[in-house]
Amino acid sequence: MARPHFCAWTGETVTLDGSRSWSRSGRIVRYEWTFGDGSKASGHSVTRIYADSEQNRIDVAQSTAGSIATVLLMGFIEMREKFAAIYGCTGIPYSNSFANEVVTKAVCIFRMTHGNTWEGIKSAVNMGRDTDCLAAVTGGISGALTGAASIPEALIRQVDHATSVNPYTCCKLTLRETADGLYDAFKARIVRTESFIAEMDIG
């Protein structure tokens, strides 16, 4: 069954693609979609617009010879439960998770919070299961889009203070200093890459 990896904004036209679905029971012979509003569609790929501003949904379906499965997701509680059914306590200790789980959840949270950094971080923590990695990835991609303005200044000061008095931390930089350092390092890498390209073009 295709996993629920897709989140959509209200009014956005999206393509739902089940072509990468699989089944232990045999080869997939058809695709039939049943949506939350009762409408149906067929084929491995369908186009849909979600008009309900009150709910964030994910519809996933597959059809195999003699079986049909559909998943409807609305909001973070449902999303957490569905992901738990897929990843929870299977194949890896509960406190850890594979990269595909963290990235998938982070992208879903990113879309469902419209890239709001603070809301994304809080939602990632409340998802449970490897929350430090999930919050870091969610906050990273959200911050790259919308910046850190949504994070309360008092919280930033609290984190900076805790870092400054922690005798065990290996780095005393503030959040701003860390962010600026990473940005400068990235710019330096771009300059270095451009110099390599220029050297190759000389010949």
Domains of the chain: 1-75 (2.60.40.10), 153-202 (no CATH)
Per residue in 142-184, pLDDT tens?
A: 998 888 888 889 989 999 999 999 999 888 999 889 889 988 9
Percent of the chain whose predicted confidence (pLDDT) is above 90 = 24
Residue 27: is its pLDDT beyond 70? no
Residue 13: is its pLDDT beyond 60? yes
Angle at which helix 131-146 crosses helix 117-127, to 10 degrees, equals 160
Find the range with the poorest average confidence among 21-25, 100-104, 158-162, 174-178.
Answer: 21-25
Mean of the per-residue pLDDT values for the chain? 76
For residue 45, the Cα-to-chain-centroid distance in whole angstroms is 22
Are 96 and 134 within 8 A, CB to CB? no
pLDDT at residue 53, rounded to an integer: 45
Q: What are phi and psi of 16, to 5 degrees?
A: -100, 120
Find the range with the poorest average confidence among 91-105, 167-181, 187-201.
Answer: 91-105
Burial bucket for residue 24 (CB in 10 Å: 0-12, 13-18, 19+): exposed
pTM of the entire structure? 0.56
Residue 68: is its pLDDT beyond 70? no
Average the pLDDT over 34-61 and give the result: 65
